[in-house]
Amino acid sequence: MSELPVLRFAPSPNGYLHLGHALSARVGRQLAQKLRGKFLVRIEDIDQGRTREAFVSAIFEDLEWLGLTWDPRILRQSQETPIYQRAAAHLHKLNLLYPCFATRSEIAITATAGGRDPQRDPDGAIVYPGLHRGMQQQEVERRITAGEQPAMRIRMDAAMELATKRLGGRPLTFRELHPNGEIETIEAQPHRWGDAIIQRKDFPASYHLAVVVDDARQGITHVTRGQDLFAATDIHRLLQVLLDLPEPIYHHHRLLVDANGNKLSKSSGARSLRDLRNTGWTPAQVLEAINDTHQNSRDFPVSSR
Ligand code: GLU
């Protein structure tokens, strides 16, 4: 590969980091080291309602405590709104976005009308049943004048059609790097997400748009992140083709689970790294806890940091 490898850890500061984050950061750092590349930290703070400055500063404190090092240039998504607006404008010009005012409950009511079992996306959320897809411009303007703020959704059928055309009829795929060095080509299936949100009501990007725009402009060559984001790669690859952005290699690492087999998360009560530290844990114990002796070789271990 001629380009310099660049990797990143991209936490959302809406809670303190837990062991799952420590694993994610370590996987990225290790692969960066193995490839002799750079390792960046990106603060994904587009959800302003849940972001706390204390969580942002804690991210750096916790990573430092763990002994990880990173490139000093930090990107904060909340400060990058014009960049996302420009990317969204490009999709607008292609006529691939439309406004949607629907609330979660309106979507649920429509999708389950008549006792129907709604279609679900890979995250288990109801697939948008299209309720505002054909809304007249006049009605859109009336609602905006009345103070309603729309989200922007992608016309999935049209987007896939255009992407397929750009790919010369070849399927949309992504490359998944496995720890043994093998790179598997996987077919992306964006359709299963339906008309996904590309711009939130309260921010000019959704997670999907922000992540592909930033991975591209930060020159990320290898996206390392948890297996829980594997299916989201469908939409990321679609957006990369539509926005003419480079295709990184992906590595979705194993997830840490609790005693009930659920993914560690703040909502499921995972203890934060700072809580562990306050009760006497050392960084070595954290690294030991996220190691899986059976799976160790799956995390790109290197002999020294
Ligand atoms: N900000 C996302 C999270 O904390 C990760 C995004 C990504 O790595 O693509 O789950």
Q: Cα–Cα distance between 180 and 112 in angstroms, integer?
A: 44
Residues 175, 187 contacting (CB under 8 angstroms): no
Residue 269 has pLDDT above 80, yes or no: no
Residue range 50-104, pLDDT digits in tens: 999 999 999 999 999 999 999 999 999 999 999 999 999 999 999 999 999 999 9
Q: Say which CATH number the domain at 242 has.
A: 3.40.50.620
Residue 302, domain member (yes or no)? no
In a domain, 20, yes or no: yes
d(CA 207, CA 211): 6
Please name every residue paired with 175 in a beta bridge, in sequence order, or none if there are none. Answer: 185
Q: Is residue 147 a part of any domain in this protein?
A: yes
**pLDDT per residue over 133-158, tens digit each?**
999 999 999 999 999 999 999 999 99
* Cα–Cα distances in angstroms (integers) from residue 156 to residues 11, 76, 101, 133, 222, in the given order: 28, 29, 18, 11, 26
**Ligand 1 nearest-atom number relative to CA 44:** 1
Residue 195 class from Cβ within 10 Å (0-12 exposed, 13-18 middle, 19+ buried)? Answer: buried
Q: Is the pLDDT of residue 193 over 90?
A: yes
Q: How far is the CA of 145 from the centre of ligand 1 (A)?
A: 34
Q: Would 1 be classed as within a structural domain? A: no
| 101 belongs to a structural domain | yes
Residue 203 neighbours by CB distance under 10 Å? 20
Is 130's pLDDT higher than 90? yes
CA of 11 to the centre of ligand 1 (A): 5
Q: Is 44 in the pocket of ligand 1 (CB under 6 A)?
A: yes
Domains: count for the chain? 1
Give the integer Cα–Cα distance in Å for 178 and 298: 8
In a domain, 305, yes or no: no
- Reported confidence tier of residue 108, pLDDT bands at 50, 70, 90: very high
228 Cα nearest atom in ligand 1? 10
**Distance, CA 132 to ligand 1 centroid (Å)?**
29
What spacing in Å lies between the alpha carbon of 17 and ligand 1's midpoint? Answer: 12
The mean predicted confidence, pLDDT, of the chain is 94
Residue 103 confidence (pLDDT): 96
Ligand 1 atom having least distance to the Cα of 24: 8
Alpha carbons 211 and 21: distance in angstroms, whole number: 17
For residue 215, is pLDDT > 80?
yes
Cα(225) to ligand 1 centroid in Å equals: 7
pLDDT at 303: 43
**Mean pLDDT of the region 148-169:** 98
Q: Which residue has the higher pLDDT, 2 or 259?
A: 259
Tell me the HSE value of 142 on the side-chain side, using a 13 A CA sphere: 5
**Residue 304 predicted with pLDDT over 50:** no
56 within 8 A of 13, measured Cβ to Cβ: yes
Which among 6, 55, 211 is the best mutation to test ligand 1's pocket, defined by most ligand atoms within 8 Å of the CB? Answer: 211
305: pLDDT strictly greater than 50? no
User: Can you give the length of the chain in residues?
Assistant: 305
- Closest to 155 in 3D by CA, of 194, 206, 108, 209: 194
Is the pLDDT at 295 greater than 70? The verdict is no
Is the pLDDT reported for residue 293 higher than 80?
Answer: no
Question: Does residue 304 sit within a domain?
Answer: no
DSSP assignment of 57-77, as one string?
HHHHHHHHHHT----S--EEG
Which domain does 235 fall in, by range?
6-297
Does some domain include residue 133?
yes
- Asked if residue 13 has its Cβ within 6 Å of ligand 1, the reply is no
Ligand 1: which of 229, 230, 239 to mutate, judged by most atoms within 8 Å of the beta carbon?
229
Cα(76)–Cα(181) distance, integer angstroms: 31
pLDDT value for 270: 85
From the CB of 229, is ligand 1 less than 6 Å away? yes
